[in-house]
Amino acid sequence: MSSALAAAGESRRPLAEFIPSAFLALLGIILLVDAGTLSNNRTGVDPLGPRPAPILVGAISLVLAIALAVAVYRGDRAEAESGEDVDLSSSMDLKTVLLLIGVFLANIVLIDLLGWVISGGLLFYGSALALGSRHLIRDLCIAAALSLSTFYGFAIGLGVNLPAGILQGIL
Amino acid sequence: MDSLQLLLDGFATAATPINLVLALIGVTVGTAVGVLPGIGPAMTVALLLPITYGLEPTGAMIMLAGILYGGMYGGSTNSILLNTPGESSSVVTAIEGNLMAKSGRAAQALATAAIGSFVAGTIGTLLVVFTAPVMTKFAISMGAPEYFAVILLAFICVTAVLGASRIRGFAALMIGLAIGLIGIDSTSGQSRLSFGIPQLGDGIDVVVVAVGIFALGEALWVAAHLRRKAAEVIPVGQPFMGKRDFQRSWKPWLRGTALGFPFGAVPAGGAEIPTFLSYILEKRLTKHPEEFGRGAIEGVAGPEAANNASAAGTFVPMLSLGLPTNATAAVMLAALTSYGIQPGPLLLQRETALVWGLLASLFIANTLLVVLNLPLAPLWAKLLRIPRPYLYAGILFFAAMGAYAVNGSPFDLILLLGLGLIGFGMRRFGIPVLPLIVGVIMGPLIELQGRRALQLASGSPRGLLGGVEVATGQFSLSLLACTVYVIIAIVLVWPLIYPLIKRQLPTPHIDAPTRQPTKTGGDNT
């Protein structure tokens, strides 16, 4: 397991490995800046106030960001996570990921408008297609069946909060 | 004995028709989802959480427990029949289990896994029944400084003990703490990290965090690397075991249980270490050493029992202290908090019916698993062939449904997406997920306890070391808090001493089977 991953790791663009450090540093800065906007009312009941916690977490994040960057610079690479369906020997298929993100965003925009049945069904359909399924009609049927059954089962049956959208009154 | 009486009351609760049905549904759905490749128990529980929304707390917890145990059983079915195991605690089962399956003994492998799970789960739950109340009595004597120290210890254990990289573990913890800070600070009333967005004022729901990081992050990650050729599934009929198989299995079951339970009960113990230890132990003790590496039943019986006993063990700190020791416990605690129930030492006292009903229902779920899933195993095996696009589209679908249902707002879906991207990044850069979840759940708690401890000592830092007697104003050092700090120091210093000890111990890989089993690699012939 490790040897295949180590080989794959060598070929990764080294600059990308610094992303976690950058993220941590950004996080630390955000925490410290936001803590600065707080007024630290210290009372007898609350001797610390709301500021110490974010300041502490922010400061540690910055320290970790530097420590991680140094470690990465020195060649420390962590293993990317493997799994049954994960094939790490090939390069990342970003197109699929972006498609999925796009489909997910579409659902976010449409869900209240069109309701769960349509929007969720489209989410499933779009995702299945993005992931490589070629059965256009069959997938549509499965998507519709899923969204209808979950709507009836959960929203109407269990009272779970799912919108009916434009199908309000029809369902 | 007091516990037994409470347990019997618990059975009365758990055996009501509706709770039985919920346990049944939980076990069945949990197994079905757990069998599916790429979905571990934590993700199973996180994804199926929305099913429990319409239920009242006791029923919901019973169902979740069923989902947990079902998910674990499904995972072991998966690792035995599929060429490549997913969840790290199933890796060891897969070593001998898959080899057994390949030599036509899949039925026996599944049977020993199932019965071993039952034995381990039952014994483990019994141990929980007797230890949790003891731990609770102990926990109630804890004041703010002690609680602060214990949570800090949990943080340190979860980040520093994890194998790969302590820096990354700490980084994950920081991200989790930051997420936990979002929202209105209850003591001062000021809003933190909400950037003027009103929906962030209430903070981010832990369920959204769990589903986003686990489910969505995993789905996106797999999408980026989807194996073009599906892994090979070994067909199987009904599981059964012969007498000899049984004779070879029962001692490994017991030994595995003994190994697994303590590790499950300790923060950051997890299931990986005990399953590995069990494998090594069984290999040393077996009367059939030539079979190890070609499908030895002890190599399945022991580790599976260890895995399940570890899962039972996690209930001890979860119920008595409110401390999650693995991701699944974290998600279950999140479910509790979403009902407004405060996990912690008082849980056992405040929610007696719920806790004992839950424990009783663990026994029932265990039994249901064996009774149902042995005959149904061929059916579950068919699920392994599910086309991957449907599987991951389904994960996205249910993740979106669950996140939206929390507040009925698309904003949570935006949060979900953001968290999914963070989860994706964490998997890409090898940053562990458990510290993040622990940080989200326990961050607000530790801050609260810390502030309270200082308040009790009128702002003096020694409030973290002990308590002040209200009447006399006298400061007394807390033995527990100091002990815990010493343990923390040892844990932090340990990696410097460990390499010296390591040279004495044999490494698992040296004892691994002679014929290299395919685990995750491209050797997919």
Two tokens, residue B46: 């996180």
How many domains is chain B partitioned into structurally? 2
Verdict on whether the full-model pTM lies above 0.95 = no
pLDDT tens per residue, range A82-130: 665 666 666 777 888 899 999 999 999 988 888 888 899 999 999 999 8
Assess whether B302 and B368 both reside in one domain: yes
- Nearest CB to B459; choose among A47, A93, A109: A47
User: Which of A156-160, B118-122, B216-220 is the least confident region?
Assistant: A156-160
pLDDT tens per residue, range B161-217: 555 578 888 999 999 999 999 988 877 778 888 887 888 888 888 778 888 888 888
Distance separating alpha carbons of residues A88 and A12, to the nearest angstrom? 11
Q: Which burial class, exposed, middle or buried, applies to B338 when counting CB atoms under 10 A from its CB (0-12, 13-18, 19+)?
A: middle
A149/A7: higher pLDDT: A149
User: Residue A73 pLDDT > 80, yes or no?
Assistant: yes
Assess whether A21 and A57 both reside in one domain: yes
Q: Is A6 a domain residue?
A: no
Band of residue B46 on the pLDDT scale cut at 50, 70, 90: confident
Distance separating alpha carbons of residues B387 and B321, to the nearest angstrom? 42
Interface of A with B in 125-154 (CB under 8 A): 125, 127-133, 139, 142, 146-147, 150, 154
Assess whether A64 and A125 both reside in one domain: no
Domain that holds residue B40: 2-143+231-409
Distance separating alpha carbons of residues A81 and B426, to the nearest angstrom? 9
- Decide: B407 and B143 in contact? Cβ < 8 Å: no
- Nearest CB to A80; choose among B54, B170, B428: B428
| Integer angstrom CA distances of residue B414 from A105, A119, B43, B403 | 8, 15, 20, 10
| Integer angstrom CA distances of residue B379 from A149, B31, B196, B236, B237 | 22, 11, 51, 10, 9
Distance separating alpha carbons of residues A30 and A50, to the nearest angstrom? 15
Band of residue A2 on the pLDDT scale cut at 50, 70, 90: very low
Domain that holds residue A59: 14-73
Tell me the average pLDDT across B83-94.
65
pLDDT tens per residue, range B499-517: 777 776 665 554 444 444 4
Assess whether B493 and B359 both reside in one domain: no
* pLDDT in the model for residue B269: 60
Instruction: Give the best-scoring range by mean pLDDT among A143-152, A154-163, B181-190, B283-292.
Output: A143-152
Chain B residues with beta carbon closer than 8 angstroms to that of A38: 190, 192
- Nearest Cα neighbor of B335 from B99, B71, B55, B523 is B55
- Nearest CB to A83; choose among B54, B222, B400: B222
Distance separating alpha carbons of residues B402 and B37, to the nearest angstrom? 21
- Nearest Cα neighbor of B356 from B2, B1, B8 is B8
* pLDDT in the model for residue B420: 93
Q: Which residues pair with B183 in a beta bridge?
A: B192
Assess whether B343 and B486 both reside in one domain: no
Q: Is A122 a domain residue?
A: yes
Q: Is B488 a domain residue?
A: yes
> Are B188 and A46 an interchain contact pair (Cβ–Cβ within 8 Å)?
yes
Two tokens, residue B463: 């409030």
Q: Is A9 a domain residue?
A: no
* pLDDT in the model for residue B422: 94
User: Distance from first CA to last CA of chain B, Å, rounded?
Assistant: 58
Assess whether A161 and A98 both reside in one domain: yes
Q: Residues near B416 by Cβ (< 8 Å), separated by ≥ 6? A: B208, B211, B212, B216, B399, B400, B403
Average pLDDT, chain B: 80
How many domains is chain A partitioned into structurally? 2
Distance separating alpha carbons of residues B88 and B310, to the nearest angstrom? 13
Assess whether A107 and A153 both reside in one domain: yes
pLDDT tens per residue, range B442-468: 888 888 888 888 887 777 777 777 766
